Amino acid sequence: MISVQDKIVIITGASRGIGKATALLFGEKGARVVIAARSQDDSEKTASEMIKKNPKSEVLAVVSDVTQEKSIKNLVQQAIQKFGGIDILVNNAGIGINKPVAEFTTLDWDLTLDTNLKGPFLISREVLPIMIKQRGGQIINISSGAGKNPIKNYAAYCASKFGLIGFSESLALEVRNYNIKVSVLLPGTTATHFGDKKREYVGLRPKNSLLPKEVAEAILTLATQEPQAWTSEMNLRPLIIEP
């Protein structure tokens, strides 16, 4: 297992949920973390929690919208300016809208696909020339169990997460000769804000759910494999023990 000490890591959607837990864990392990999300307050909260946990944490919070090219360019520029490179990109920002297709607006569709699929493409396109120049790097895309197993009333979400797996697998083949690993993680239901603000984890494990920290640990596992070992896809599920 290798260390993430001093590695420069961009985590999108690190203002809450899985992204935040990942930022805290990587910060604890000595990584230099760039937090990317739209909410300044929540991003700054993540940054101060990181510093509280590990006063030596090096962290940069950049208000970013993954659906906007200009915002992505600014994010990557700021990361380079502050830390001088990018070792790991975690494409985690995501949304899901629960609605039957007949009621889905074009705006709902575009927002879901732009956030969950176009976003990872836009950031990867910005970061790849840097990783290619460095002759190394890693991109970890957060898909979902819904990227393989459809969920009713989540057609756009499923389309985006199925698509993200295809994008990851094709990109992996394209860049592996540059010593760049692309991995896709498919978490099961995780106790976060996702889709419903009432679902935020407050201390007890909700039934049949993973905790954000457990997903963060899976992301860390992918980031700390030996240089010649590459997990292309990881399925993470809560262990459900029947009574």
Catalytic residues: 157
Among the listed ranges 13-21, 50-58, 81-89, 175-183, the one in contact with ligand NAP (CB under 6 A) is 13-21
156 close to 106: Cβ distance less than 8 angstroms: no
Candidates 26-34, 35-43, 98-106, 172-180; binding stretch for ligand NAP (CB under 6 A): 35-43
Task: From residue 57, give the alpha-carbon distance in Å to each of 147, 165, 170.
Answer: 34, 32, 34
Q: How many residues bind ligand NAP (CB under 6 A)?
A: 28
112 interacts with ligand NAP by CB under 6 A: no
**Closest C-alpha among 21, 12, 216 to residue 119:** 12
Q: Which stretch binds ligand NAP (CB under 6 A): 78-86, 89-97, 122-130, 222-230?
A: 89-97
Tell me the closest approach of the beta carbon of residue 44 to ligand NAP, in angstroms: 11
Nearer to ligand NAP, 31 or 185 (CB): 185
Give the nearest distance from C-beta 48 to ligand NAP in angstroms. Answer: 15
Residues 114-143 that bind ligand NAP (CB under 6 A): 115, 142
Q: Which part of the chain contacts ligand NAP (CB under 6 A), choosing from 23-31, 37-45, 125-133, 223-231?
A: 37-45
Residues sharing a CB contact under 8 Å with residue 37, sequence separation 6 or more, in sequence order: 12, 13, 14, 15, 16, 19, 43, 63, 64, 93
Q: What's the closest the beta carbon of residue 220 comes to ligand NAP, in angstroms?
A: 15
Pick from 25, 95, 216, 222 the residue near ligand NAP by CB under 6 A: 95
The torsion angles phi and psi of 238, rounded to 5 degrees, stand at -70, 140
Output 31 or 36, the one with its CB closest to ligand NAP: 36
Q: 53 to 72, contacts with ligand NAP by CB under 6 A? A: 64-67
Residues 183-242 that bind ligand NAP (CB under 6 A): 187, 189-190, 192-194
Nearer to ligand NAP, 3 or 98 (CB): 98
CB of 161 to ligand NAP, least distance (A): 7
Find, among 208, 207, 126, 194, the residue nearest to 161 by Cα.
194
What are the residues binding ligand NAP (CB under 6 A)? 12-13, 15-19, 37-39, 42, 64-67, 92-95, 115, 142, 144, 187, 189-190, 192-194
